[in-house]
């Protein structure tokens, strides 16, 4: 049945694509996008080596989501935009929550992915993951999103285990014009964005922005309305110096506030069971400010100094309240020595302090904690055969307050076989350091046993001796610009994991005649491996039509050490799809009229019990007048709704919305 449905949907989409292509060829030639496929290979990326290099030459599995990709696709959030990159597991759990990972280990607490926004790390020291519900900006102002599949710990530090996502916004020098957008639809009930920019003086440009959205609740598989509607408002600014100056200065900041609906367990005390489940709102707010100074000393040397302060607040009823402040200072210096060595080194310090208001259900001990992380890295890119073969050696040396000293070395070899093709190999070590959840958590879950005379509770307890999770990764890839109209990016990997988290049951704690506790302690008793591959093929058959085909394969196998009593390894491995495939079509029917079509297939998730699904998205962007754009977007068009992750199994419904944008 599933195969028949998939065949029918793909055939229907294929007919639509052919009809659109025929219409396109009947029009006069029109450049598809700002960049051709060949020019895309020359985009300068910074996430692989912390300094600009052409995408075609980068010795890593890196993919760039361009601003043009984002605008044409009609997406309204950063998680949705990440679906445009191969191998990224984007599963929407509800209207206000996502599970996002790369190369496995996806969950609502996914913690092996480092995410940066303009150089600011947004991972949470509370659980070593990302709160995606507060990561946002005006999508019009995103320059590109660099997605690196594979470890990046040598340069970016702990928690850059399975990948790095670097979201880079546009310079204020490029956003002087005002911009306004308004829209709404069936699921995105209403949204608005505003930007105003200009020149402060002849040396500095600025911009400010405001953004608001209101999203409807999803549907549950039972047919009832979900409890996950969501509202958020944010604003910010950015100031950039003239790019031609020797000293380049960037200052920016954001502030946000919002709420989302959730279900939570009623308040209780040990010895009594909660009355049930209630509905309330999670309050979320925060802000950040960042300053960066770059100087070009000469043609062989430059340095960068980055500082940011980040404040977050999150209150979940009857669960916990977190107030966190983070200070980060990062320095890096690049210098070319001799004819063959390009040395990059740097140092950093991060200080974070939190205040956690506990509940019986979830508590942290101590309730307030201050943590510091000190780091030093060095990397040397050695030219073995000038302009052809390069050997990159480096390591990160880091100290944190949980596991102490960590070393994350890296070796990469790249061969530029020609001006249009690169072969690369890499071996790396990366770690996921413990978080507050691993070390300090005590979670109490009431466990109802019908007819049992006393309450029973299951607990998960943090472990102050919890060690860092470790990855040894081996990768290789081939990237080629086969012609002006065809390119290919292929990568394979083998990951060897050790000291992964488990929950080990301990002896029951019986407090007669009041209650019984079944404790579980967090330990490092799991290991395993993952192997897989990704492929991205680009084809531009005409100037006004571009196609991209993405495929990702993952085989994750986990086992526990002898004596472990945690069966979770099978569940964790089943949280990620074995196969993912996507076809994207970007088409200009005529001047100012763009059509985006996406067909996405995601394999089943055995652990949360989610069936494989195929989703079709369509977006039409039309310049109706000199300064006006209208975008009509439909998502999940081939079914009324499907689940993408568990355990709640909310349906992601068919959705449509209209957006009107103005900019002179």
Q: What is the CATH number of domain 2-662?
A: 2.40.170.20
**Average pLDDT of span 32-44:** 66
Q: Is the pLDDT of residue 21 over 80?
A: no
The CA dihedral of 449, 453, 455, 458, to the nearest 10 degrees, is: -50
Dihedral sign (CA 160, 163, 166, 167)? negative
Rounded Cα distance between 124 and 119, Å, is 15
pLDDT at 608: 83
Q: How far apart are CA 204 and CA 305, in angstroms?
A: 19
pLDDT of amino acid 173? 95
Residue 14 pLDDT grade (very low, low, confident, very high; cuts 50, 70, 90): very low
The yes-or-no verdict on residue 379 having pLDDT over 70 is: yes
Token reading at 618: 């369509």
* Residues 166 and 143: beta-carbon distance below 8 Å: no
Return the H-helix or E-strand segment holding 8: helix 2-26
18 SS3 class: helix
Spell out the residues 6+ positions from residue 299 whose beta carbon is closer than 8 angstroms to its own: none
Question: Alpha-carbon distance 172 to 250, whole Å?
Answer: 9
Chain centre distance of CA 626: 35
* Portion of the chain with pLDDT greater than 70, in percent: 93
Read off the pLDDT of residues 440-467 as tens digits, 9 standing for 90 and up.
999 999 987 777 888 899 999 999 999 9
Q: Is the pLDDT of residue 162 over 80?
A: yes
Mean pLDDT along residues 617-644: 93
Nearest of 122, 215, 222 to residue 167 by alpha carbon: 122
Q: Rounded to whole angstroms, what are the CA distances from 624 to 179, 233, 310, 588, 662? A: 16, 29, 41, 14, 10
User: What residues contact 128, with CB distance under 8 A and at least 6 apart?
Assistant: 111, 159, 432, 433, 434, 435, 437, 438
- Dig out the tokens for 631 from the structure: 């975008």
Q: How confident is the model at residue 37 (pLDDT cuts 50, 70, 90)?
A: low
**pLDDT tier, 275 (very low <50, low <70, confident <90, very high otherwise):** confident
Q: Is the pLDDT of residue 3 over 70?
A: no
Contact between 482 and 497 under an 8 Å Cβ cutoff? The reply is: no
What are all long-range contacts of 106-112, with beta carbons under 8 Å and residues at least 24 apart?
106/575, 106/576, 106/645, 107/572, 107/575, 108/645, 109/437, 111/159, 111/432, 111/435, 112/159, 112/161, 112/162, 112/163, 112/432, 112/469, 112/471
Six token digits for residue 628: 């006006």
The distance from CA 584 to its chain's CA centroid, rounded to whole angstroms, is 20
The DSSP call for residue 75 is: -
Instruction: Kindly write down the DSSP assignment for every residue of 581-648, as one continuous string.
Output: EEEEEEEEEETTEEEEEEEEEE--BTTTTBPPEEEEEEEEEEEEETTEEEEEEEESTTSSEEE-STTT
The angle formed by the CA atoms of residues 109, 112 and 118, to the nearest 5 degrees, is 100
Q: Between 395 and 53, name the one with better pLDDT.
A: 395
Q: What average pLDDT does the segment 111-138 reach?
A: 95
Q: Give me the pLDDT at residue 570, please.
A: 62
- Residue 651 is predicted with a pLDDT of 86
CA distance 440 to 438: 6
Mean pLDDT of 480-487: 93
Token reading at 375: 């780091």
Alpha helices in 309-442 (DSSP H): 436-440
- Summarize the confidence of residues 135-142 as an average pLDDT: 96
Spatial separation of the C-alpha atoms in residues 551 and 66, rounded to whole Å: 19
Question: Binning pLDDT at 50, 70 and 90, where does residue 373 land?
Answer: very high
Mean pLDDT of 14-35: 40
Question: For strand 163-169 and strand 113-117, is the pairing parallel, antiparallel, or unpaired?
Answer: parallel
The predicted-structure confidence for 340-358, as pLDDT tens digits, reads as follows: 899 999 999 999 999 999 9
Higher pLDDT, 18 or 234: 234
Residue 17 clears pLDDT 60, i.e. is over it = no
Helix (H, G, I), strand (E, B) or coil at 514: coil
pLDDT given for residue 41 in this prediction: 67
What does the pLDDT read at residue 12? Answer: 41
Query: How confident is the model at residue 554, as a pLDDT?
Result: 98
Q: Which residue has the higher pLDDT, 195 or 570?
A: 195
More confident residue, 242 or 423: 423
pLDDT at 639: 86
Q: What is the DSSP letter of 41?
A: T
Q: How far apart are CA 509 and CA 519, in angstroms?
A: 8
Give the pLDDT of residue 158: 82
Cα–Cα distances (Å) from 478 to 38, 53, 551, in that order, read 16, 16, 15
The pLDDT confidence band at residue 36, using thresholds 50, 70 and 90, is: low
Question: Measuring CA to CA, which residue among 504, 500, 499 is closest to residue 461?
Answer: 504
Here the tokens at position 363 are 């508590």
**pLDDT value at residue 28:** 34
CA dist 391 and 398 (Å) reads: 23
pLDDT at 225: 85
Residue 329: per-residue pLDDT: 98
Instruction: Output helix, strand, coil percentages for the chain, rounded to the nearest 5.
Output: 10, 60, 30
Asked which of 5-19, 541-555, 592-606 is least confident by mean pLDDT, the reply is: 5-19
CA angle 381–385–387, rounded 5-degree value? 75
Is the pLDDT reported for residue 583 higher than 90?
Answer: yes
Average pLDDT, rounded, for the chain: 90
Say which residue, 308 or 277, is predicted with more confidence: 308
Output the pLDDT for position 38: 64
For the ranges 226-240, 385-399, 561-575, the lowest mean pLDDT is seen at 561-575
The residues, any chain, with a CB within 8 Å of residue 72's CB and separated by 6 or more, are: 33, 586, 594, 596, 619, 621
Buried b or exposed e, range 319-352, using 16+ CB within 10 angstroms: bbebbbbbebebebebeeeeeeebbbbbebebeb
Residue 31 scores a pLDDT above 70: no
Question: CA–CA separation, 81 vs 90, rounded Å?
Answer: 10
CA 577, 611, 471: angle at the middle one, nearest 5?
Answer: 20
In the predicted structure, residue 7 carries a pLDDT above the cut 60: no
Dist. CA 260–CA 248, nearest whole Å:
39
For 352, the token pair is: 């974070």
Residue 519, both tokens: 């404790």
Count of CA atoms in the C-beta half-sphere (13 A) of 338: 9
Q: Backbone phi, then psi, for 413, in 5-degree steps?
A: -125, 125
Q: How far apart are CA 49 and CA 55, in angstroms?
A: 11
Q: Which of 654, 653, 657, 655 is nearest to 220 (CA)?
A: 653
pLDDT, mean of residues 117-127: 94
Taking 50 as the threshold, does the pLDDT of residue 256 lie above it? yes
- Tens of pLDDT, residues 525-581: 999 999 999 999 999 999 999 999 999 999 999 999 999 998 776 678 899 999 999
- What confidence tier does 224 reach under pLDDT thresholds 50, 70, 90? confident
């Amino acid at each position: 049945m599933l195969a028949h449905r998939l065949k029918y949907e793909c055939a229907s989409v294929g007919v639509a694509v052919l009809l659109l292509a025929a219409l396109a060829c009947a029009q006069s030639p029109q450049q598809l996008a700002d960049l051709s496929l060949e020019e895309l290979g020359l985009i300068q990326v910074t996430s692989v080596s912390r300094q600009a290099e052409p995408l075609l030459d980068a010795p890593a599995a890196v993919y760039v989501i361009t601003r043009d990709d984002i605008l044409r696709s009609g997406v309204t959030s950063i998680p949705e935009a990440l679906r445009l990159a191969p191998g990224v597991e984007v599963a929407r759990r509800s209207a206000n929550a996502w599970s996002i990972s790369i190369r496995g280990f996806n969950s609502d607490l996914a913690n092996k992915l480092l995410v940066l926004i303009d150089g600011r790390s947004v991972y949470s020291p509370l659980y070593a993951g990302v709160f995606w519900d507060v990561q946002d900006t005006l999508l019009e102002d995103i320059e590109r999103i660099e997605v690196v599949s594979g470890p990046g710990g040598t340069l970016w530090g702990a928690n850059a285990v399975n990948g790095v996502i670097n979201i880079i916004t546009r310079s204020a020098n490029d956003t002087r014009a005002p911009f306004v957008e308004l829209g709404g639809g069936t699921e995105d009930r209403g949204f608005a964005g505003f930007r105003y920019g200009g020149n402060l003086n002849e040396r500095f440009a600025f911009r400010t922005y405001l953004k608001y959205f209101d999203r409807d609740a999803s549907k549950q598989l039972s047919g009832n309305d979900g409890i996950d509607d969501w509202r958020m408002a944010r604003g910010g600014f950015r100031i950039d110096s003239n790019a031609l100056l020797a000293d380049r200065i960037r200052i920016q900041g954001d502030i946000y506030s919002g709420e989302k609906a959730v279900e939570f367990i009623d308040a209780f005390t040990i010895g009594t069971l909660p009355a049930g489940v209630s509905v309330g709102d999670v309050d979320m707010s925060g802000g950040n400010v960042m300053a960066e100074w770059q100087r070009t000393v000469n043609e062989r040397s430059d340095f960068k100094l980055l500082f940011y302060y980040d404040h977050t607040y999150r209150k979940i009823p009857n669960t916990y309240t977190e107030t966190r402040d983070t200070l980060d200072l990062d320095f890096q210096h690049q210098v070319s020595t001799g004819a063959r060595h390009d040395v990059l080194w740097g140092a950093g310090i991060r200080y974070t302090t939190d205040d956690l208001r506990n509940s019986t259900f979830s508590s942290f001990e101590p309730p307030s904690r201050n943590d510091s992380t000190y780091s030093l890295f060095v990397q040397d890119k050695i030219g073995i055969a000038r302009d052809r073969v390069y050997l990159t050696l480096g390591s990160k040396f880091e100290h944190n307050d949980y596991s102490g000293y960590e070393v994350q070395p890296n070796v990469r070899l790249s061969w530029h076989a020609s001006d249009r093709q690169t072969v690369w190999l890499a071996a790396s070590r990366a770690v996921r350091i413990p978080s507050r959840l691993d070390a300090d958590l005590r979670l109490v879950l009431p466990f109802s046993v019908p007819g049992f005379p006393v309450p029973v509770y299951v607990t998960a307890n943090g472990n102050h001796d919890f060690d860092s999770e470790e990855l040894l990764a081996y990768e290789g890839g081939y990237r080629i610009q086969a012609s002006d109209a065809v390119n290919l990016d292929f990568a394979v990997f083998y990951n060897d994991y050790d000291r992964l988290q488990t929950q080990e049951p301990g002896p029951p704690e019986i407090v007669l005649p009041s209650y019984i506790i079944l404790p579980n302690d967090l330990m490092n008793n799991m290991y395993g491996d993952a192997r897989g591959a990704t492929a991205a093929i680009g084809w531009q058959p005409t100037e006004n039509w571009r196609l991209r085909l993405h495929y990702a394969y993952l085989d994750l196998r986990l086992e526990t050490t002898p004596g472990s009593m945690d069966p979770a390894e099978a569940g964790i491995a089943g949280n990620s799809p074995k196969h993912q495939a996507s076809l994207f079509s970007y088409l200009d029917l005529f001047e100012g009229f763009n059509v985006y079509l996406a067909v996405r297939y995601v394999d089943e998730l055995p652990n949360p019990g989610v069936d494989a699904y195929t989703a079709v998205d369509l977006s039409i962007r039309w310049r109706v007048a000199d300064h006006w754009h209208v975008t009509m977007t439909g998502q999940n068009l081939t079914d009324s709704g499907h689940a993408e992750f568990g355990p709640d199994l909310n349906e992601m419904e068919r959705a449509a919305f209209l957006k009107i944008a103005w900019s002179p």
